[in-house]
Amino acid sequence: MLSKTLVLLASVASVIAAPAACKAPNTKPVTPTLPVTGTGKQLTNPPEGLELLHIALGYGIQNYTCAAQGADPVAAGALAVLYDARPLYPGQGARSLASEARFAALPGDVLAGAQPVPLRLDNDRNRTDPAHPGASLTEPFVSPPSGLTVEGVAEPLAYLGHHFFTDKGVPSFLLDDGRIFLTSKKDEAANAPADASAGPDGTGAVAWLKLSATPDAVGPAKFVYRVLTAGGNSHGCAKGAGDDSTSYTATYWFYG
């Protein structure tokens, strides 16, 4: 009887001494939150039921025309290479940045960094200032495309696609190996925050935008937001008539 009691006590003691089972950590990525400017007019949110498809970092140029010296510059489209920035958003995984503030600073940091604009900037014809060339009229994008090295980030951002305007002036996005070809129209605009990066030439950050798909769009993307802009405003027309280009970066959030 005594031996049975001792065995029972030993069994109870082993249960008490056994460490509690550890719960597996929640590794589900955090759903990124579309940024807001913080003051003034805000872009409206995407309709309910849509999901975030991509967060792209766009790096390229904004184009303008000057009809005459001293005239107001007129926007004439943009060209940019798109890179996959979603892995850097906080709470996504091992590559995530430490905070949303650090992520928000990413476009400005890239524009101020050592990585040059990833376009063939060899167009010096009809420029308001030769110091600000445009992209090649025939092959503006470097081929084959490569990733974007970002200071302080271990791995380059993966190439995702291109942003360009068609010959009819339609803002377009080709990404995801062609699975998304978003031809779009501008629905809304909001001024960039006052503390947004003005860019290397100090021209100021372009506006934040909400764009929606046109009937010609291909793939699941229905809306794209241009937010967290850095640089991109025109150098102005003080030096004469012609074309002007300004480097910029921004994040593009695709929903569908």
Confidence of residue 24 (pLDDT cuts 50, 70, 90): very low
pLDDT of 184-209, one tens digit each? 999 999 999 999 999 999 999 999 99
Q: CA–CA separation, 190 vs 138, rounded Å? A: 33
Nearest in space to 132 (alpha carbons), one of 239, 251, 250:
239
Confidence of residue 29 (pLDDT cuts 50, 70, 90): confident
Residue 27 confidence (pLDDT): 66
pLDDT at 26 over 70: no
As a whole number, the mean pLDDT across the chain is 91
pLDDT at 150 over 70: yes
Mean pLDDT to the nearest integer, 142-148: 95
pLDDT at 9 over 90: no
Q: How many residues does the chain have?
A: 256
Residue 182 confidence (pLDDT): 99
> Domain-by-domain residue ranges, the chain?
52-255
Query: Which of the pair, 76 or 17, is modelled with greater confidence?
Result: 76
pLDDT at 144 over 90: yes
Mean pLDDT to the nearest integer, 103-109: 98
Residue 2 confidence (pLDDT): 32
Q: Are 64 and 234 in contact (CB under 8 A)?
A: yes
pLDDT at 101 over 90: yes
pLDDT of 37-85, one tens digit each? 999 999 999 999 999 999 999 999 999 999 999 999 999 999 999 999 9
DSSP 205-250: BPPEEEEEE-TT-BSS--EEEEEEEEEB----STT-SEEEEEEEEE
pLDDT of 199-247, one tens digit each? 999 999 999 999 999 999 999 999 999 999 999 999 999 999 999 999 9
Mean pLDDT to the nearest integer, 2-26: 40
Residue 37 confidence (pLDDT): 97
E strand or H helix that includes residue 201 = none
pLDDT at 104 over 70: yes
